[in-house]
Amino acid sequence: MSEHVLLRHRDIPNIDRLDVYLAHGGFEAFKKVVTQQQPADVINEVKNSGLRGRGGAGFPTGLKWSFLPTNLWPHYVVCNADESEPGTFKDREILESNPFQFLEGLMIASYGVGANLSYVYLRGEFWQVAARLDEKISELEQAGLLGENLFGTPYSLRLRTHLGAGAYICGEETALLESLEGKLGQPRLRPPFPAVVGLYGKPTLINNVETLTNLPPIFQKGAAWYKSLGTEKSPGVKIFSLSGCVNKPGNYELPLGTTFRELIFTHGGGLADGRSVKAIMPAGASSSIIHVNADSLLDTPMDYESVAAIGSQLGSASVIVLDDTVNMAWLVSKTVNFFKHESCGKCTPCREGTFWMNRLAGRIAAGKASAEDVTLLDSVAKQIAGKCLCALGEFSVMAVTTGIKQFRQDFDGKVNETRSEETVPQEAMG
């Protein structure tokens, strides 16, 4: 792509400096909405752009904004900068290199839903990023772009950062709110949804970093321009975090609907000599595995609908490429170990299920299990599915069930005749 919409630091050096960002039209969009538009107009513009949430679920952003009731106040905006899905590293690049565009997006969202205080929740490992963001926020306060009575209007806005402390579950929006309130990061029962009962019991909008970073260009160039990018149902551009068995892993900003082939071969430099694509996980460790058993699958467009049509998910577009040397039983032992580590423990099927899946998958990968253990692993996974309070439990079984179904030989090739001692107590599964 010639000009980036989100990764603009790749085109404009030093755009992380306020003077440079301002010189390139920075905060014109924010000033325009605050001084010339009603919040309802702002929400309509976002609806018209067709923008969908980039945190994983792809929910229409403008529609989400319209859910905050206008008879309950105050409203909060909380930006999800927890970025912890294995394979995802796009928000970090935005926050580090194009921070003002992100902050302007957060400010437009805050005005759009009438919030006067907004938070950025960053994963604890982004300690340096948060410190730099705090500096940028102070600069904006000094420049009169944040604070009381902005541009002589009655509108006031403050931004604050908040650091998590190492827990993937805090990326789930209700666990994030609990964590921000100073409690254990465990998901809440829904309904009520955060749009009605969110932070401190008040209506709250939660959006991902990348989602918000789209807003300044949408308001500068118009919803129609944005909608002309990407596909009809998945408009706009997306940052694809490409990792795994490719020559040039990294972030690539491309229109939604770009094919896997273009991402992996044109941009990602292809695979090592003599290797071929065995499988793809398009949504990080949470993905259903795509078995690339026909070359034409690489021509699948990467948009929400097309990836779902081949039995997987686009999620946050963290595309992990697996070549023909990767054993899927080993891969599953890795993903399951992640989810076992990250289960918050609130509900039994997820807590116990990930524990047992981790034991079984670990033994299988180590060559210490029998074929029946593979069947047992599959059945434990199927008992977890559909019984969990939040999506983490569902995510934990995706690679297991799709891995065993499509690559049974990888698992069977690892087993030996001695059956492991493992028996999973039925009551453990709730």
Partner 1 sequence: MNELLSKYPQEIQQILAKYPPAFKRSAVMPLLYLAQREPGYVPRQALNDIAEILDISTTDVASIVGFYTLYYDRPAGRYHIQVCNDLPCALRGADQFLRELCERLGIEEGGTTPDGLFTVEAVKCLAACHRAPMFQVQGDGEIVYHENQTVELAMAWIEEVRAKAAAGQEAQP
Write the interaction track for ligand SF4 spanning residues 180-219; mark x where CB under 6 A is met and - where it is not.
------xx--------------------------------
Q: Quick one: which of 104, 111, 128, 122 has its CA closest to 18?
A: 104
Q: Which of residues 171-200 bind partner 1 (CB under 8 A)?
A: 179-185, 200
Q: Does 128 bind partner 1 (CB under 8 A)?
A: yes
- Helix or strand run (H / E) with residue 111: helix 99-113
Q: Does 56 bind ligand SF4 (CB under 6 A)?
A: no
Helix axes 99-113, 39-49, angle to 10 degrees: 120
Q: Which of residues 375-394 bind ligand FMN (CB under 6 A)?
A: 390-392
From the list 99-107, 191-199, 239-247, 338-346, the region that binds ligand SF4 by CB under 6 A is 338-346
Buried b / exposed e over 122-155, threshold 16 CB at 10 Å, is bbeebeebbebbeebbebbeeeebbeeebeeeeb
Q: Calculate ∠ Cα 18-24-26, nearest 5°.
A: 55
Q: Does 178 bind ligand FMN (CB under 6 A)?
A: no
Q: Does 72 bind ligand FMN (CB under 6 A)?
A: no
Contact partner, 241, from ligand SF4, partner 1, ligand FMN, none, Cβ < 5-8 Å per class: partner 1
Out of 26, 50, 56, 353, the residue judged to bind ligand FMN by CB under 6 A = 56
Q: Does 115 bind ligand SF4 (CB under 6 A)?
A: no
Number of residues that bind partner 1 (CB under 8 A): 51
Contact partner, 351, from ligand FMN, ligand SF4, partner 1, none, Cβ < 5-8 Å per class: ligand SF4
From the CB of 315, what's the least distance to ligand FMN, in Å?
Answer: 9
Q: Which of residues 143-172 bind ligand SF4 (CB under 6 A)?
A: 169
| Torsion sign, CA atoms 370, 371, 372, 375 | positive
| Torsion sign, CA atoms 235, 239, 245, 249 | positive
Q: Which of residues 343-402 bind partner 1 (CB under 8 A)?
A: none
Q: Does 49 bind ligand FMN (CB under 6 A)?
A: no
Write the interaction track for ligand SF4 spanning residues 348-367; mark x where CB under 6 A is met and - where it is not.
--xx----------------
From the CB of 361, what's the least distance to ligand SF4, in Å?
Answer: 17
Tokens 């939604």 map to which residue? 256
| Residue 370 or 396 with smaller CB distance to ligand FMN | 396
Separation CA 311–CA 290 (nearest Å): 7
Q: SS3 for 162? A: strand
| Residue 54 or 291 with smaller CB distance to ligand FMN | 54
Contact partner, 57, from partner 1, ligand FMN, ligand SF4, none, Cβ < 5-8 Å per class: ligand FMN
Separation CA 183–CA 181 (nearest Å): 6
Q: SS3 for 124? A: helix
Strand order in the sheet with 75-81: 158-163, 115-122, 75-81, 204-208
Q: Which of residues 251-290 bind partner 1 (CB under 8 A)?
A: 251, 285
From the CB of 371, what's the least distance to partner 1, in Å?
Answer: 24
Q: Calculate ∠ Cα 210-112-215, nearest 5°.
A: 30
From the CB of 388, what's the least distance to ligand FMN, in Å?
Answer: 10
Q: Which of residues 3-62 bind partner 1 (CB under 8 A)?
A: none
From the list 53-61, 218-226, 242-250, 351-359, the region that binds ligand FMN by CB under 6 A is 53-61
Strand residue runs (E) in 360-408: none
Residues 6+ apart with CB under 8 A from 259: 298, 299, 300, 301, 302
Q: Calculate ∠ Cα 65-211-249, nearest 5°.
A: 160
Q: SS3 for 58? A: coil
Out of 390, 397, 399, 404, the residue judged to bind ligand SF4 by CB under 6 A = 390
How crowded is residue 343: how many other Cβ atoms within 10 Å of its Cβ? 24
Q: Does 250 bind partner 1 (CB under 8 A)?
A: yes
| Residue 45 or 83 with smaller CB distance to ligand FMN | 83
How crowded is residue 89: how many other Cβ atoms within 10 Å of its Cβ? 17
**Phi and psi at residue 178, in whole multiples of 5°?**
-60, -45
Instruction: List residues near ligand FMN by CB under 6 A.
Output: 53-57, 59, 64, 80, 82-85, 169, 171-173, 206-208, 211, 390-392
Instruction: List residues near partner 1 by CB under 8 A.
Output: 83-89, 91-92, 117, 123-128, 160, 162-168, 179-185, 200, 241-245, 249-251, 285, 318, 320, 322, 326, 331, 334-335, 338, 341-342
